[in-house]
Structure 1
Amino acid sequence: MKRNKTIIWITIILLVIVAFLYYTSSSGTFSSKEKDFAVQDTATVTKIFLADKDNNTILLERDSTGTWQLNNTYKARQSGVNLLLETLKNLVPKYPVPENAHNRIVSLMASQSVKVEVYQQVYRVHLSDNLEFFPHEKRTKTFYVGTATADNMGTFMLKEGADVPFVVHLLGLRGFVGPRFSTEEANWRDHTIFKTKLFNIESVTMEM
């Protein structure tokens, strides 16, 4: 009786090991770079470039004062930039596009997607967090943002150079993130008409 129980337990353990090895081998077929969409340190982001298939482009650049500029012409809307940076930081891949849907999604993204390039200040020499030398700007991320999934709970994304798109979602959001990568200039412009501190205003006059 004890012998039978031992055989049963050994069989169960072997099945668990086989299942574990199968899972890890199948999930490991994708390199970390293929699903690495998030930008961990958004404080070092210096520039974000967006481009769609209709040749609409958005260039967001942080100037020396920390203010974001739009297309080398306008001041960018800070709340919009903050939302984009937050989005970039919290992108999480859920799963790769299934093989039976691969060609359809890739074709769809070829005609309906936004190219995203992220540039950051990095150091050529990094000894520790307090010992870094020779800073320079480097493009650290390039990926494509496609349409929403059928249930609107994820977004198709593809890393540059990767073969398989992923369904990506945003931590804390029930929905898709495509609109946050808008290529409409009006969505990024700062709409402030008049800006000053209240205590600097001595009087206000209105004329009809």
Structure 2
Amino acid sequence: MLLVLLLVLVGAAAYFFTNKGSEKSTLNTSETAFTVTDTAAVTKIFISAKSGASNTLTRQENGRWLLNDKYEARQDKINNLLETMHRMEVKRPADKASRNLAIRDFATMGKKVEVFQHGKLSKVFYVGQSTDNDLGTYFIMEGSENPYVLHIPGFNGFINTRFDIVEDNWRSVPVFRSNAQSIQELKVEYTGDPQGSFTVTQSNGKYTVSGLKETDQENVKAYLDNYNFINGVFFVPNPQNRISDSLALRKPVAIITVKDTNPEKSREIKLFPKDIDNFLALNEKKKEIMQVQTFVFNRLLIRKDGLGKK
């Protein structure tokens, strides 16, 4: 009898020390499988809130992402979200004191996240509020009654803001998407410097610049290639088009007009000074205002003589 009792005690001790300090080993794996281990397999992410706001992010064949089937998505935010889902880990179950509050917050302020891999729904969970010390975020798996605190090891902060439901925050800010081959005509007008203004036209692969006797073909081509991928920083809120209508009445410092072989890439952008580092760029046709960086647009805002032969 003594030998049996001794074996039981030894077995219990072995179990205790094997699992001591490993909280995750005692957790229900079906309730805690929040982490997305293979983000390369993610083809779609759907994020929604009780307010009715939602965003659908879909990976395209070229690797880029589409927002709500109509906008180019910001790649930096996509990368941040995928990294978050890959690195986030369960820190602990919600304690008794916070459990009911966390569940109530899921019902009112939680965000539902659906992750699709290889075109199939792979997991659904809800993202809640941050913990009192802001070092974790409450999550709960769909169908579960038990919330958990998740965090990213080495990151001291909360992660619920990365599951953003504001559409404009996910939108890429494309200003120009043309290149030397597709541009038929490009006009840069300086309202305070008409002598520096110019128009570039293309015919059968040759470029001419208005007002120049000799055009440096390689220089012009290199300049036009700058228009291949020009982004802004963010879209400026424009309720009831009030700001765009107000800007349209002001005199811009420059107007850039691109006529592309693809009409969808043709546009006219008016630039207004904002501060030393930024312009406000107005696409009057779409009633869109973008904040754009000065150092990016300095590549475009050259004088006419910069395109001539030296």
Q: 1:179 to 1:204 in 2, by over 3 A?
A: same
What amino acid is the match of 1:86? E
* TM-score of the two chains, using structure 2 as the length reference: 0.53
The residue aligned with 1:4 is: none
- Deviations for 1:45-82, whole angstroms, at most 9, x for unmatched residues? 00000001101010000122222000011111111111
Which residue number in structure 2 is paired with residue 163 of structure 1? 145
Q: 1:26 to 1:184 in 2, by over 3 A?
A: closer
User: Which stretches in structure 2 are left out of the alignment for 5+ residues?
Assistant: 1-6, 192-310
Q: Tell me, in whole angstroms, the C-alpha distance in 2 between the residues paired with 1:14 and 1:193.
A: 68
* Identity across matched positions, percent: 36
Cα distance in 1 for partners of 2:75, 2:24 equals 39
Q: How does 1:43-192 map to 2 (within 5 A)?
A: 43-121=40-118, 137-192=119-174
Which residue of 1 is the match for residue 247 of structure 2? none
The alpha-carbon distance between structure 1 residues 36 and 16, as it changes in their structure 2 partners (threshold 3 A), is: same
Question: Per the alignment, do residues 18 and 30 of structure 1 end up closer, same or farther by CA in structure 2, a change over 3 Å counting?
Answer: closer
Tell me: CA distance 1:162–1:77, structure 2 relative to 1, closer, same or farther (3 Å).
Answer: same
Question: What is the one-letter code of the residue matched to 1:170?
Answer: I
How big is the shift at 1:101?
2.5
**Residue 93 of structure 1: how far off its partner (Å):** 0.4
The answer as to 2:191 corresponding to 1:194 is: no
**Once superposed, which parts of structure 1, at least 4 consecutive aligned residues long, lie more than 2 Å away?**
12-30, 195-207
What RMSD in Å do the two structures reach over aligned CA positions?
2.9
* Equivalent position SS for 2:36: coil
1:170 deviates by 1.3
The match for 2:30 is: 33
Shift of residue 31, structure 1, vs aligned partner: 1.4
Structure 1 residue 18 displacement after superposition: 6.8
**Change in 2 beyond 3 A, CA 1:80/1:18:** closer
2: CA distance between counterparts of 1:27 and 1:86? 21
Report the Cα distance in structure 1 between the residues aligned to 2:76 and 2:178, rounded to whole angstroms. 18
Give the direction of change, closer, same or farther, for the CA distance of 1:160–1:194 in structure 2 (3 Å limit).
Answer: same
Q: 3-state DSSP class of the match of 1:172?
A: coil
Asked which structure has the greater CA Rg, the reply is 2
Q: Provide the rounded CA distance (Å) in 2 between the counterparts of 1:25 and 1:176.
A: 23
Q: Secondary structure at the match of 1:83?
A: helix
Deviation at 1:22, TM superposition (A): 8.0
- Pick closer, same or farther for the CA change 1:198–1:87 going to 2, 3 Å: farther
In the alignment, structure 1 segments of 5+ residues that lack a partner are 1-9, 122-136
Change (3 A) 1:189 1:23: same
Aligned to 1:206: 189
Distance 1:164 1:198, change over 3 A: farther
TM normalised by structure 1 equals: 0.77
Using CA pairs below 8 Å that are at least 6 residues apart, which structure has the higher relative contact order? 1
Q: Structure 1 residues 119 and 14, CA, compared in 2 at 3 Å: closer, same or farther?
A: closer
Three-state SS of the structure 2 residue aligned to 1:109 is helix
1:26 shift after superposition: 8.1
